[in-house]
Amino acid sequence: SWCSCKRPFVDQIDQPFSSMQKGGSIARAAHRWPAAALRRFSSGGGSPGIFEMRKYTLKPEKAGKYLSALEAYGDVRKRLLPLRLFALPETGGQLFVATHLYSYRDIAEREEKRAKAIQDAEWLAFLSETNECLSTTESSIYVEAKATLEACGLDGASSPGPLGDPESPGVYEFRRYQLRLGYDAVPLFLEHYGKGLPSKLEADPQAKLVTLLYSDIGGLNEVYEVWRHDDVSAMTRSRVEARKATEWRASIAQIAGLAQTFTTTIMKPVKPSVWN
């Protein structure tokens, strides 16, 4: 296998699940883990940083105006804010939802950068032009499960560099899991996911797992896989190949017991997205 994964995420915790089960259930053991500990163990060491996902529902009749202004002021956004992805859904859910992802060192850096942006004349001009285009706005904070990614030799999404060719943008597949309540839900998800991921990567080495995020502020116990494909046909091929990966199928069977809902959305990047 080209992806030589280390031991699963859960083995990087102070005590593996097997020892936690002695004298109590996994669920009771997981209640001893504060959110900060989960972040630390899923970060592969050091500060994991945070990712903010913002979703703006556009008024359909104003979408063209918003996208024109978005492109015109694209350099202003990238100058002020650590943008990674700006995309619109093609199918798989509500349309006209401008979805943008930012990477920050921590909440303090987010507050600092957004406070500076609101003082910037060009940024204020953009807001003035586009506020009438928005129906609703939403913001949530996520942490990257970096240790799970690093175990399979994946870099994750912390790098600020471009992804893909601006002249030939791909598509992004957002796979969203809403897990059941409980402190153990996300750790169990990462345990199962980490065991099956190598076989999925081996089945289709062309697909790129850009990041794996779990929610920290907003709706909790929410997990996103974000995959990049060259096009929709490549995404379809990846799904077909993944169904042949025995370990991946076994992991998904375990994850199904944790998930309340699962959705997948095809997103297409738009300027000024850093990821294409």
pLDDT of residue 23: 38
Strand-pairing partners, residue 137, are: 56
Q: Determine the 3-state secondary structure of 20 from DSSP.
A: helix
pLDDT of residue 229: 95
pLDDT of residue 5: 52
276 residues of the chain, pLDDT tens digit each? 344 454 333 333 223 333 333 333 333 334 444 454 455 445 555 556 899 999 999 999 999 999 999 999 999 999 999 999 999 999 999 999 999 999 999 999 999 999 999 999 999 999 999 999 999 999 999 999 999 999 999 989 866 666 777 677 899 999 999 999 999 999 999 999 999 999 999 999 999 999 999 999 999 999 999 999 999 999 999 999 999 999 999 999 999 999 999 999 999 999 999 999
Cα–Cα distance, 170 to 271 (Å, whole number):
13
In sequence order, which residues have a C-beta less than 8 Å from that of residue 126 and are 6 or more positions away?
A: 69, 73, 76, 77
Peptide bond before residue 272 is cis, with ω within 30 degrees of 0: yes
> In this structure, what token pair is assigned to residue 4?
């030589």
pLDDT of residue 43: 53
pLDDT of residue 157: 86
| Contact (Cβ atoms closer than 8 angstroms) between residue 126 and residue 76 | yes
pLDDT of residue 165: 72
| Contact (Cβ atoms closer than 8 angstroms) between residue 215 and residue 172 | no
